[in-house]
Amino acid sequence: MKDLKMKQTGDMMNELRFHLASNEMKQFLSAFLSLHASDQAAFFLELSEKNRGKVLHSLYPHEFVGVFQEFGWEDRRLAVTYLDSEYVVEMLNMMVPVEAAAFLKSVTRRKSLSLLNAMNPEARAHIERIMKYPVNSSGSLMHTEFLTANIIDTVDLVLKKLSLTSGDHNYHHLYVIDGDRCLIGTVSIHQLLRAESNATMEKLMYSNVISIQDKADQTQAANLIKKYNLLELPVTDQEGIIIGIIKVDDVIELMEERMSLSIESFAALKSGISLASGTIRLVSQRLPWLVGLTVLGFLMTKIMAPYLASLEQFTTLALFIPVILGMSGNSGIQSLSVALRRISMSSVSGKDSWLLLGKETCIGALTGFVCGLFAFVLSNLLLNSSPMISSVIGLALFIAIFFGTITGAILPLIVKHLRIDPAIASGPVLTTLTDIVALLIYYSVATLLIPLATT
């Protein structure tokens, strides 16, 4: 069944490409608008710049807004370059406020104010309420449309109010409030529909409410939703008044976005995975890192050149350079991945930072010792190396793995202390650093130990 669905989707995409290439826009729009918004977005991002413009100029704002909300932030900013301000304003008026607020925060302040001033007052009020919160706060992630009922309301009265609500929102819970609008309980919609018509919310509600304050970190909200398996998490202000809800879908999107950003930073990229980005743009993002690291590598090679003269008579050592460099880099990547995960999942500071570093230090020492011992034995058994050469290889591998593990753990902690995104401790930087130091360690150990075998 799944294969059939994929085949049908593929056939539809081919049909869309044919209509677009043939300039049959009526047939194209009919087929395009029949797709799910996620499929529309995927198709749009595959198009050339010329065809993207053609599609956009054929769609009304209410037809494109769903597609727009499926884009990542970088793709949204690029899509807006094809549109005039009136078109964008119409879309923002129809967008979910939390999505519109996030988009407006991603553009320049001047552009944001211009768009806000042109919006209708009601939509603007919802968006500005969300935009006042810091980017990483729970308030910036909340939806302002939710259902409330007074503690003394009956089921019959609540259902009548519910029938008058507008929009196509998918509500899961009703939030019970007191006379001061403070959150005191929740009632599931399923429970509400099954209850007796004269039952009050006080009788039906679950009073042990899991909620979060609007200024709390988004990571804390995500942890609560995960821990208690929630579909919605109510958001309150400092007085306990409910002001919004965070949906599990938004948390999943947030985690996916953060993971994407971490992967991009880990690879020394900045918005470099966007499908809408051109080749020149991607090259300009990656090249400075690679050029800088190449220059650093050559500088360190010059520094290490004096070691080579003393090792020329032991050419066997050159065979093991890839092993030393590879294992140092691998241990560093493992340690960096663990540190980034710990930092992204919880707040790591003070004592926790030292515990993390201490644990990775122990791991580096143990894994380095075991791998160094294996290297000593294998170089003897497989390559018939002398005991001294095997000792050089084993000791150098131990120190290189130990250094790589510590470096991978400490880099994100340092940049976090400097209030920089920890993911900036990227793969290329770590790999280059561990390669250079591992090679320096290898040559230093060989220079120190080999003369002992010749005396």
What would the 3-class secondary structure string for 51-75 be? HHHHHHCCCCHHHHHHHHHHCCHHH
Q: How far is CA 335 from each of CA 354, 363, 418, rounded to the nearest angstrom?
A: 14, 9, 20
Domain range annotation of the chain: 2-136, 147-256, 279-454
Burial 46-80 (b: 16+ CB within 10 A, else e): ebeeeebebbbeebebeebbbbbbbbbbbbbbbbb
What is the SS3 assignment for 182? strand
Mean pLDDT of 115-144: 91
- What CATH number belongs to 279-454? 1.10.357.20
User: Would you tell me which CATH number, out of the four given (3.50.50.60, 3.40.640.10, 3.30.70.920, 3.10.580.10), belongs to the domain 147-256?
Assistant: 3.10.580.10
Q: What is the pLDDT of residue 4?
A: 41
Contact 383, 412 (CB under 8 A): no
Q: How many CA within 13 A on the CB side of residue 138?
A: 28
Q: What is the pLDDT of residue 342?
A: 73
**Alpha-carbon gap, residue 231 to 228, rounded angstroms:** 9
Give the pTM.
0.60
Contact 299, 440 (CB under 8 A): no
Name the pLDDT band for 275 (thresholds 50, 70, 90). Answer: very low
**Alpha-carbon gap, residue 97 to 120, rounded angstroms:** 13
Q: Which residue has the higher pLDDT, 393 or 310?
A: 393
Contact 406, 364 (CB under 8 A): yes
**Alpha-carbon gap, residue 247 to 142, rounded angstroms:** 8
Q: Indicate the length of the chain as a whole number.
A: 455
**Alpha-carbon gap, residue 61 to 423, rounded angstroms:** 37
Beta pairing class for 173-177 and 183-188: antiparallel
Residue type at 95 in one-letter notation: M
Predicted confidence (pLDDT) per residue in 29-57, tens digit? 999 999 999 899 989 988 888 888 889 88
DSSP lists the bridge partners of residue 212 as 235
What is the homologous superfamily of the domain 2-136 according to CATH? MgtE N-terminal domain-like (1.25.60.10)
Predicted confidence (pLDDT) per residue in 342-384, tens digit? 766 555 566 777 888 888 899 999 999 999 999 888 888 877 7
Contact 183, 242 (CB under 8 A): yes
Least confident of 27-31, 155-159, 440-444: 440-444
| Exposed/middle/buried for residue 5 (C-beta within 10 Å: 0-12, 13-18, 19+) | exposed
Residue 273 in this model has a pLDDT that exceeds 50: no
**Alpha-carbon gap, residue 362 to 364, rounded angstroms:** 5
3-state helix, strand, coil in the chain (%, to 5): 70, 10, 25
